[in-house]
């Protein structure tokens, strides 16, 4: 068994933000959530998150995390070594390995951590450290080994000589310790360095021998200290996600202009057109063509749907339905199969049956529409009286004329037709025609008086 500790107490000054650095989102999840997720496969016996700067925010953000998380306060942030010192009272008598991860290293692959832990156990040294050779090592601690790859020293970027800075082998900020050995050296740390901090890397320097484990893909260990690094990590994550879906048979036209959260699921033969963004718990069925220019968030899209220049949030659209251009579906709307939701149509918290059309310039909110309903151009549901929302119900095969105003609460039966321009205020039974507008008046021979006429 292994316990995991995540360092999440720092402010992250270089982010220039009041939000703790580890709470900044990288796609659909914060940095610290990503780090926690990366260790799930190790089945840790304990998950200790060290919090400090605005710790209540970090605690709140992880309150609904699916596994048990223990929080350890580091009231003053005096360095990564000082952070780990705070574990001493919590891990008294603990006799297992401790995996330590910086809270700002979100791209680690679970397989990498598994291999790292296996290697640590095989070598059975007091400590192991994850390292990589990276093209731009600026800001990272440099790792120096002898010719037999035994660790000699980790030296922080700011404490390096010019020559030492040339070393491109860096400390990932991920370590595995035999806790008993670490606990012995932790009290010996001093802050005698450029930053006047207690470095966790010095604890590693006290332990011998140390296993040095190189990661093949250096991108996995990129740490996030500023907004530029946040955006670079986002691109790396996006490339991973899109490569994955393309390998699964999804066409992504112009991947550079598309973003997909890693919580999204796509069936083979989905086509993602340019400038399209898929977020949250979105799922898209086979044969659907999404975009160009669309945003789908936390929504389920069936098979063979086309969705053009449209926005869908917290909603579901079933198979064979055509959406857009310029439709907005939101607020737990559900659209049945074979529907047509056209230009400049907004659907909110409404349920549409099958083969129902709302094709042009409409607002349908808090409504239930049956099957084969047709809503004429420019129709709106008047769902809000200024205080409360009210529902509109429309039965199967009913045809609402163009430019109707449906004043809710309202129930309209099946096989009803309403005349164009009607303002419908009263319920309508099945099988009827409703005309709710004043009659047209025609006055033969009438003309506007000309100027100067008496």
Binding residues among 130-169 for ligand UD1 as defined by CB under 6 A: 140-141, 154, 156
Q: Does 219 bind ligand UD1 (CB under 6 A)?
A: no
State yes or no: residue 24 binds ligand UD1 (CB under 6 A).
Answer: no
Which of Ca ion, ligand UD1, none does residue 22 bind (CB under 5 to 8 Å by kind)?
Answer: ligand UD1
- One residue of 3, 10, 177, 279 binding ligand UD1 per CB under 6 A: 10
Quick check: 200 binds ligand UD1 (CB under 6 A)? Answer: yes
Using CB atoms, what's the residue nearest to ligand UD1?
Answer: 141
The one among 38, 128, 201, 381 contacting ligand UD1 by CB under 6 A: 201
Output 99 or 250, the one with its CB closest to Ca ion.
Answer: 99
Q: Which residue has the tokens 């600026």?
A: 138
> What distance in Å separates the CA atoms of residue 257 and residue 293, rounded to the nearest whole number?
10
Q: Which of 12, 81, 106, 223 binds Ca ion (CB under 5 A)?
A: 223
Minimal distance, residue 122 CB to Ca ion, in Å: 28
Binds ligand UD1 by CB under 6 A, chosen from 171, 267, 374, 381: 171
Q: Which of 82, 133, 244, 360 is the catalytic position?
A: 360
> Which of 174, 377 has the CB closer to ligand UD1?
174
* 127 binding ligand UD1? (CB under 6 A): no
- Per the annotation, the verdict on 360 as an active-site residue is yes
In the list ligand UD1, Ca ion, none, the entry touching 77 (Cβ below 5 to 8 angstroms by class) is ligand UD1
Structure tokens at 316: 């579901």
Confirm or reject binding of residue 205 to ligand UD1 (CB under 6 A).
no
In the complex with ligand UD1, the residue whose CB is nearer, 162 or 448, is 162
User: In this chain, which of 40, 168, 191, 225 binds ligand UD1, going by CB under 6 A?
Assistant: 225
- Residue list 46-85, contact with ligand UD1 (CB under 6 A): 50, 52, 74, 77-80, 82-83
12 or 338, CB closer to ligand UD1?
12
Q: Which does 103 bind (CB under 5 to 8 A by kind): ligand UD1, Ca ion, none?
A: ligand UD1
CA distances from 1 to 20, 81, 98, 220 (A): 30, 23, 9, 24
Q: How many residues bind Ca ion (CB under 5 A)?
A: 3
H/E/C letters for each residue in the chain? CEEEEEEECCCCHHHCCCCCHHHCEECCEEHHHHHHHHCHHHCCCEEEEEECCCHHHHHHHCCCCCCCCEEEECCCCCCHHHHHHCCCCCCCCCCCEEEEEECCCCCCCHHHHHHHHHHHHHHCCCEEEEEEECCCCCCCCEEEECCCCCEEEEECHHHCCCCHHHCCEEEEEEEEEEHHHHHHHHHHCCCCCCCCCCCHHHHHHHCCCEEEEECCCHHHHCCCCCHHHHHHHHHHHHHHHHHHHHHCCCEECCHHHCEECCCCEECCCCEECCCCEEECCCEECCCCEECCCCEEECCEECCCCEECCCEEECCEECCCCEECCCEEEECCCEECCCCEEEECEEEECCEECCCCEEEECCEEECEEECCCCEECCCCEEECECCCCECCEEECCCCEECCCCEEECCEEECCCCEECCCCEECCCECCCCEECCCCCCCCCCCCCCCCCCCC
Give the x/- contact pattern for ligand UD1 in 180-199, rule: CB under 6 A.
Answer: -------------------x
Interface mask toward Ca ion for 104-123; x: CB under 5 A: x-------------------
Question: Contact positions toward ligand UD1, by CB under 6 A?
Answer: 7-10, 21-22, 50, 52, 74, 77-80, 82-83, 102-105, 140-141, 154, 156, 170-173, 199-201, 223, 225
**Catalytic residue set:** 360
Question: Contact positions toward Ca ion, by CB under 5 A?
Answer: 104, 223, 225
């Amino acid at each position: 068994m292994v316990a995991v500790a995540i360092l999440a107490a720092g402010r992250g000054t270089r982010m220039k933000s009041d939000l703790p650095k580890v709470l900044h989102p990288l796609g659909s999840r914060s940095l610290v959530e990503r780090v926690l997720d990366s260790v799930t496969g190790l089945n840790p016996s304990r998950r200790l998150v060290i919090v400090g700067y605005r710790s209540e925010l970090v605690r709140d953000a992880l309150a609904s995390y699916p596994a048990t998380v223990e929080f350890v306060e580091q009231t003053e942030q005096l360095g990564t070594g000082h952070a780990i010192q705070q574990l001493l009272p919590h891990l008294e008598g603990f006799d297992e390995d401790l995996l330590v991860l910086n809270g700002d290293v979100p791209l680690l692959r679970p397989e990498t951590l598994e291999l790292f832990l296996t290697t640590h156990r095989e070598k059975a040294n007091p400590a192991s450290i994850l390292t990589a050779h990276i093209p731009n090592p600026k800001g990272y601690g440099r790792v120096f080994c002898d010719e037999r790859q035994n660790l000699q020293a980790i030296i922080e970027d700011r404490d390096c000589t010019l020559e030492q800075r040339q070393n491109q082998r860096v400390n990932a900020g991920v370590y595995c310790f035999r806790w008993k050995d670490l606990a012995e050296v932790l009290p010996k740390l001093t802050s005698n360095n450029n930053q006047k901090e207690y470095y966790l890397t010095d604890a590693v320097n006290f332990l011998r021998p140390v296993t040095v484990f190189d990661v093949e893909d250096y991108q996995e260990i990129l740490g996030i200290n500023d907004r530029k690094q946040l955006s670079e990590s986002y691109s790396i994550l996006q490339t991973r996600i899109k490569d994955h879906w393309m390998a699964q048979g999804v066409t992504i036209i112009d991947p550079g202009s598309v973003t997909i959260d890693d919580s999204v699921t796509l069936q083979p033969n989905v086509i993602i057109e340019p400038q399209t963004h898929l977020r949250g718990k979105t799922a898209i069925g086979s044969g659907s063509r999404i975009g160009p220019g669309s945003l789908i968030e936390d929504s389920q899209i069936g098979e063979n749907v086309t969705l053009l220049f449209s926005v869908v949030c917290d909603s579901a659209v079933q198979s064979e339905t055509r959406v857009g251009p310029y439709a907005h579906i939101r607020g737990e709307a559900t659209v049945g199969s074979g529907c047509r939701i056209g230009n400049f149509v907004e659907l909110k918290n409404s349920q549409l049956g099958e083969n129902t059309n709302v094709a042009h310039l409409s607002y349908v909110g808090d409504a239930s529409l049956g099957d084969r309903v047709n809503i004429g151009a420019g129709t709106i549901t008047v769902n809000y009286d200024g205080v409360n929302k009210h529902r509109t119900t429309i039965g199967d095969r009913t045809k609402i004329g163009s430019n109707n105003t449906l004043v809710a609460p309202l129930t309209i039966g099946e096989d009803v037709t309403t005349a164009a321009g009607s303002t419908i205020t009263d319920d309508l039974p099945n099988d009827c025609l409703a005309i709710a507008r004043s009659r047209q008046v025609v006055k033969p021979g009438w003309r506007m008086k000309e100027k100067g006429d008496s």
